[in-house]
Amino acid sequence: MRPHWRFEDLEIWRLAQALAVKLHAVAEKLDQRKCYRYAEQLRAAGLSVTNNIAEGSGSQHTTEFKQFLNIARRSLFEDVSMVLVFEKIGLFSPGEADGLLADCDVLSRKITSFSRTLK
């Protein structure tokens, strides 16, 4: 058993939420360019990070919570991959991509660090 966390109090969830909001704003721009599939994929991966942190926080056991944190990190890598590809094909400016990639890097490190503190 492990102590219960309110996911909305976790720094990693708050950072993931802020990133999801940014990705949603980018997805809106992609919708305007008629890149609907890309926009939907970006929204889904962004929400997957927050949702997996939230879902994992409700786990009965630490091992299970860590698995959800791993899934959240993997979704974050999916976000990074899309940002890099979208930048390469001209859907993002380098400045837009750099800011999102920096946010993803910070969040990835914090998820890893938090996961390591769980016993």
pLDDT bracket for residue 3 (50, 70, 90): low
CATH number at residue 35: 1.20.1440.60
Q: What was the pLDDT predicted at 1?
A: 47
Asked whether residue 75 is assigned to any structural domain, the reply reads yes
Q: Considering only CA atoms, which of 62, 86, 66 is closest in space to residue 74?
A: 66
Better pLDDT: 92 or 24:
24
- Give residue 38's domain range: 7-117
Q: Give 94-114 pLDDT, tens digit per residue.
A: 788 999 999 999 999 999 999
pTM, 2 dp? 0.91
Residue 65 domain-assigned (yes or no):
yes
Question: DSSP for 40-94?
Answer: HHHHHHHHHHHHHHHHHHT-SSHHHHHHHHHHHHHHHHHHHHHHHHHHHTTSS-H
Note whether residue 2 is domain-resident.
no
Structural domain contains residue 1: no
Give the number of domains in the chain. Answer: 1
For 87, the token pair is 């930048």
Q: Is residue 80 part of a domain?
A: yes
Burial of 2 (0-12, 13-18, 19+ CB in 10 A): middle
